[in-house]
Amino acid sequence: MKKKTPQPPKWATRFLTTYCRPELLEDLQGDLNEYFDRNLRNRGAFIARLIYIIDVLKFLRSYVVRRPSVTNPFNNTFMLSSYIKTSGRSILRSRLFSGINIIGLAVSMSIGLLVIAILSDLFSYDSTLKNKDRIYRVVSNLEWPAHQPMKLASTSWKGGTLIHEEVPAVESMTILRNNFGGDARTGDNTVPVKGFYADNGFFDVFGFPFISGVPSTALKQPHSLVLTQVTAQKLFGQADPIGKTVTFDSTLYTVTGVLQDLPKLSHLHFEALASLSSINTSNTTTDGGYMDWNNCFSNYVYVLLKKNSKPSSFTTALGKINTRENDPAANSKVLLSSQPLKDIPMGSRMANEIGAVFPLALVYVIAGLALVILLSACFNYTNLSIARSLRRSREVGIRKVMGANRSQVVGQFIVESIILSLISLVCAFFIFLVLRGQFLSFHEFLQSAFSLQLTPRVILYFISLAMAVGIIAGVLPAIFYAKINAIQVLKNASSLKVFRHVSFRKALVVVQYTLSLIFITTTVIGYNQYKGFIRFDLGFKTENILNIRLQGNKDEVLAGKLAGLPAVNGISRSLMVSSLGSFYGTDMKYNNPADSAGVAQNFVDGNYLQLHQYSFLAGHNFTASPKNAPETEIIVNEQLIRRFNIGKGNPQKAIGERVSIDNKKLTIVGVLRDFHYGTLDSKIDPTAIRYSVSPNGYLNVKLNMANLPATMTSIATFWKELDKVHPLDAKFYDAQIEEAYSQYAVMLKVIGFIALMAICISSLGLFGMVIYTMEKRVKEVSIRKVLGASEGLLVYLLSRSFLFLLMIAALIALPLTWLFFDRVILPRFVYHQPIGFGEMLIGLFFVGGIAFIMIGIQTLKIVRANPARILKNE
């Protein structure tokens, strides 16, 4: 056989074709070929190729290079309206396709919107401050032997003073000190108020606007007080607060100013500021003297740098102060450094943080996750659009025949995908509104830290996101269609090569389904476990018991009034509410003085055990004793007698034994069946119940649930009469237990939503494959039908391969999920329910059902079609 003759390098030819004017191209190419042949003969293939490449490069001259074609700029504008019109028609024509795409894009876009709103909030923290770019916070790094260095958001008072005195770049400085606050009293009005001590530089640095008062002197004098507007109204109503006095404990403060309320997105939050000079600095605190260099735990220092001063010079100045002030002989070292104001909300984690902080890594993770979700949705759109190419390529062919050029076809499809993604944006927006509410209710912290308001800027971001999604999703189909050869398509559309990597696509579908199955099964199992937690038999009854926190008030008055209510079936008193995760422990000893062990305890009155229906294994309830009688009795659980081997672990024999606790000798009068003092993730520990006539923690009120609103109203009225300052804090025990596990509920919600999204995305991926395969095989199906295949058989034939993919996904996902729960999650909970076989399959049925319906509808459509109509075109 003849050896293939060497050819000129293809890429060089292609390069020439791209830059050369069409009218010159043929001649040049011919010349190059001629030379190439000649060189090939005389000098060998390598040299010939080299010369060819060099010549191609040398032809790159001004007269050879193509001029960019100048088209009428108005042309595109005119075409745009046509694009929009035809896109609208095409979206309406294939409703199923558009609907599915819109849902898919909307679900993933809603996450994008949420992330945008979150990021926008984070970046607009403190953005209303006038000098925000020049404000720096001084933070400390505490180094001490045998400890990790500790980053503190707080600084020493002395550090602040030194900076103000010595650093020339500092225009003004302020020191804040926390722990100002308490119950503020004005005449007969008492309001709890929280805030800071601050010096007068505060207003120079932050420039918070005043409503009344003089900023330059407001915090100069000792015992001056500046209130925010809301606090002023709470204290004084509509009256002018300036000059009035407010009492905290026994100290009298004079109001010297009222500030406008702080914006929500501020890292500082306070209701009142007291002048720093009110503090008597000659006293000492638990951390040492106020003015000690190392006392860096309660003060925050902010500086305003002068205009045009460099932050680096400030850093250098801080370094100098550090070296001078740190005693080399001292145990611990405090190193000051500066942090720009805008870095505070997303800065690194520091102890003693003054407000909410979101670690930057978390921000990246959230944004990355949203990006992945969005991209996979875009990918699905691309997939689906190309999968439909068999239908749409004819349209493109005709467009091209009518004179559309590539860029116009690209424009057409990009506009179509942008319109689709803008429609998705509208849907996504509604999902976002729901998500926002859910997100904020996940945790009080989120509610206080984010507003997620819809500002014009955020809306603009939303629209840009939709446009970007439209362009990213539409660009590949657009290029694909633009490349279509009109003649080929019009002659025979099925000759198009659409999906090259079919096995890769199948693998992708399997991966997507595996993930969806993992998420949804996790949700189902997690939900069952969570339900199990809140319905768990704790060893006592919690139904219809309302726990009222006394908040320091005397129980007798309230209990007396409540007992008069017809709906109240019983009242008991306890120091704390158990089974919610809080723990109150002490040490106990039995006969052996060297053997002491920690036990959990609770103080209750005589009604408590009965009201909660604890079950006694032996012995009896406490015998009633007067209020000030010494404590003599104790009731314990099984674990405790087993731990100390009291009566050889036999409850009957344990009665009458004496244990010592808190230096008291107490007699065991009862043994309770083990009950859950802690949450279900901890084992049942040795627990003791001790007697107190009024433990002054909670009132446990057993209610008759009939006519609950009226009962609650009366309880609220009684509380108002008792305590005018603090709002009533009464919660049903069951609700409290639910609250104790609320973090899991939040996690479930998040995972559930991810599952929903994963299902949407993977369903779309599968759908694209199905549509493509069906369109490919429509003729085959028709022929089979003509030859006598039954419908059922055809549906089975067509859906077989997809169901196979689903099976693979299930075989990977379900064992993985089971292992994950069995080995990783559930061992953390000492008391949990077994994983049911049924709950493993619920998710599979759900996902499989959706896939089956999707495949079924598509296959049936083809199978039901009249074969004569499909085959006659051949």
Partner 1 sequence: MKGTHLGEFEELVLLTIASLLDNAYSVAICDELTKHADRTVKLGVVHAVLNRLEEKGLVKSELGEATATRGGKRKRFYLITGAGKASLIRSKAIRDELWQKIPNFTLNRI
Question: Contact positions toward partner 1, by CB under 8 A?
Answer: 26-31, 33-35, 37, 55, 58-59, 61, 63-64
Q: Of 29 and 660, which has the nearer Cβ to partner 1?
A: 29
Tokens encoding 804: 């196979």
Return the residue matching tokens 């949407």: 760
CA-wise closest residue to 737 among 571, 578, 601, 572: 578
CA 227 – CA 229 distance, rounded (Å): 6
Q: Of 64 and 618, which has the nearer Cβ to partner 1?
A: 64
Q: Which residues contact 642 (CB under 8 A, 6 or more apart)?
A: 649, 686
Regarding beta strands 224-228 and 245-248, do their DSSP bridges make them parallel or antiparallel, or are they unpaired?
unpaired
Total residue count of the chain as it appears in this document: 874
- C-alpha triplet 25, 27, 32: angle, nearest 5°: 95
Helix and strand numbers (H, E) in the chain are: 26, 24
Q: Of 27 and 327, which has the nearer Cβ to partner 1?
A: 27
Q: Which residues contact 23 (CB under 8 A, 6 or more apart)?
A: none
Question: What's the DSSP call for residue 302?
Answer: E
CA 725 – CA 193 distance, rounded (Å): 11
Q: Of 47 and 716, which has the nearer Cβ to partner 1?
A: 47
Q: Of 48 and 258, which has the nearer Cβ to partner 1?
A: 48
The answer to whether 579 touches 681, Cβ cutoff 8 Å, is no
> What minimum distance in Å lies between the beta carbon of 62 and partner 1?
9
Q: Of 9 and 340, which has the nearer Cβ to partner 1?
A: 9
The answer to whether 137 touches 153, Cβ cutoff 8 Å, is yes
Q: Of 34 and 166, which has the nearer Cβ to partner 1?
A: 34
- How does DSSP assign 95-133, residue by residue? HHHHHHHHHHHHHHHHHHHHHHHHHHHHHTTTTT-TTTT
Neighbours of 266 (CB within 10 A): 18
Q: Which residues contact 576 (CB under 8 A, 6 or more apart)?
A: 582, 584, 602, 697, 698
> What minimum distance in Å lies between the beta carbon of 494 and partner 1?
31
CA 336 to chain centroid:
33
Count how many Cα atoms sit within 13 Å of the Cα of residue 866 in the half-sphere of its side chain: 4
Q: Of 31 and 240, which has the nearer Cβ to partner 1?
A: 31
In one letter, which amino acid is 174? T
> What minimum distance in Å lies between the beta carbon of 28 and partner 1?
7
- For the CA atoms of the chain, what is the radius of gyration? 38
> What minimum distance in Å lies between the beta carbon of 8 and partner 1?
8
In one letter, which amino acid is 703? L
Neighbours of 101 (CB within 10 A): 26
Q: Of 32 and 688, which has the nearer Cβ to partner 1?
A: 32
Phi, psi of 254 (to 5 degrees): -105, 130
CA-wise closest residue to 384 among 769, 17, 701: 769
> What minimum distance in Å lies between the beta carbon of 25 and partner 1?
9
Q: Which residues contact 463 (CB under 8 A, 6 or more apart)?
A: 422, 425
Tokens encoding 582: 């809080």
Q: Of 54 and 624, which has the nearer Cβ to partner 1?
A: 54
Phi-psi bin for 656: left (phi > 0), alpha (psi -120 to 50), beta?
Answer: left
CA-wise closest residue to 665 among 776, 590, 581: 590
Q: Of 31 and 133, which has the nearer Cβ to partner 1?
A: 31
> What minimum distance in Å lies between the beta carbon of 70 and partner 1?
21
> What minimum distance in Å lies between the beta carbon of 63 and partner 1?
5
Q: Of 64 and 789, which has the nearer Cβ to partner 1?
A: 64
- How does DSSP assign 210-239, residue by residue? EEEE-TTTTTTSTTEEEEEHHHHHHHHTTS
> What minimum distance in Å lies between the beta carbon of 36 and partner 1?
8
Helices 389-401 and 360-387 cross at an angle (nearest 10°) of 70
Q: Of 48 and 357, which has the nearer Cβ to partner 1?
A: 48
CA dihedral 153, 159, 162, 163 (to 10 degrees): -20
CA 713 – CA 509 distance, rounded (Å): 57
> What minimum distance in Å lies between the beta carbon of 65 and partner 1?
12
In one letter, which amino acid is 791? E
> What minimum distance in Å lies between the beta carbon of 486 and partner 1?
24
> What minimum distance in Å lies between the beta carbon of 26 and partner 1?
5
> What minimum distance in Å lies between the beta carbon of 801 and partner 1?
45
> What minimum distance in Å lies between the beta carbon of 3 and partner 1?
18
CB-count exposure of residue 55 (10 Å: 0-12, 13-18, 19+): middle
Q: Of 22 and 564, which has the nearer Cβ to partner 1?
A: 22
Q: Of 31 and 343, which has the nearer Cβ to partner 1?
A: 31
Q: Of 13 and 189, which has the nearer Cβ to partner 1?
A: 13
CB-count exposure of residue 594 (10 Å: 0-12, 13-18, 19+): exposed
In one letter, which amino acid is 106? A
Q: Of 61 and 648, which has the nearer Cβ to partner 1?
A: 61
Tokens encoding 297: 């735990």
> What minimum distance in Å lies between the beta carbon of 68 and partner 1?
20
> What minimum distance in Å lies between the beta carbon of 53 and partner 1?
13
The answer to whether 319 touches 306, Cβ cutoff 8 Å, is no
> What minimum distance in Å lies between the beta carbon of 112 and partner 1?
52
Please measure the distance between the N-terminal and C-terminal CA atoms of the chain and give it in whole angstroms. 40
> What minimum distance in Å lies between the beta carbon of 64 and partner 1?
8
> What minimum distance in Å lies between the beta carbon of 20 and partner 1?
11
Q: Of 34 and 343, which has the nearer Cβ to partner 1?
A: 34
CA 620 – CA 604 distance, rounded (Å): 15
